């Protein structure tokens, strides 16, 4: 998925790393300008910045319980809000707008 940044939220990898660290208490590796981690119901999370967009690729694990899935989803939504400045509702509206364009 690709996300835009709200005005005042700079596309800086170190700021994004801090947002990840605040939500996901796990090891975060940096490889070639990408941040990589694994947490809870997500086998892998890959985060990068290209231009003025945040790119996030995730792979889910289907061998976890409902509580862990809910916790992981909440942390992921919180991370996206900290990173982009947009709430889940605002991100949904942006995605709908982008889909209607293309």
Per-residue pLDDT at 102 exceeds 80: no
Per-residue pLDDT at 9 exceeds 80: yes
Q: What integer pLDDT is reported at residue 42 of this predicted model?
A: 97
Q: How far apart are CA 71 and CA 56, in angstroms?
A: 18
Q: What integer pLDDT is reported at residue 2 of this predicted model?
A: 93
**3-state SS string for 5-51:** CCCCCCCCHHHHHHHHHHHCCCCCEEECCEEEEEECCEEEEEEEEEC
pLDDT in tens, 33-84: 999 999 999 999 999 999 999 999 999 998 999 999 999 999 999 999 999 9
Of the candidates 61, 31, 62, 63, the one whose C-alpha atom is nearest the C-alpha of residue 47 is: 31
Ordered by where they begin, the domains of the chain are 2-92 (3.30.310.190)
Per-residue pLDDT at 98 exceeds 90: no
Q: What integer pLDDT is reported at residue 11 of this predicted model?
A: 96
């Amino acid at each position: 998925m690709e996300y835009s940044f709200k005005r005042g939220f700079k596309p800086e990898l170190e700021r994004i790393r801090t947002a990840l660290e605040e939500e996901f208490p796990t090891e975060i590796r940096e490889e070639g300008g990408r941040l990589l981690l694994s947490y809870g119901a997500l086998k892998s999370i890959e985060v990068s910045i290209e231009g003025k967009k945040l790119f996030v690729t995730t792979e889910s694990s289907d061998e976890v319980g409902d509580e862990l899935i809910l916790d992981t989803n909440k942390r992921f939504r919180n991370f996206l809000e900290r990173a982009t400045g947009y709430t889940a509702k605002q991100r949904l509206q942006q995605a709908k707008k982008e889909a209607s364009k293309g």
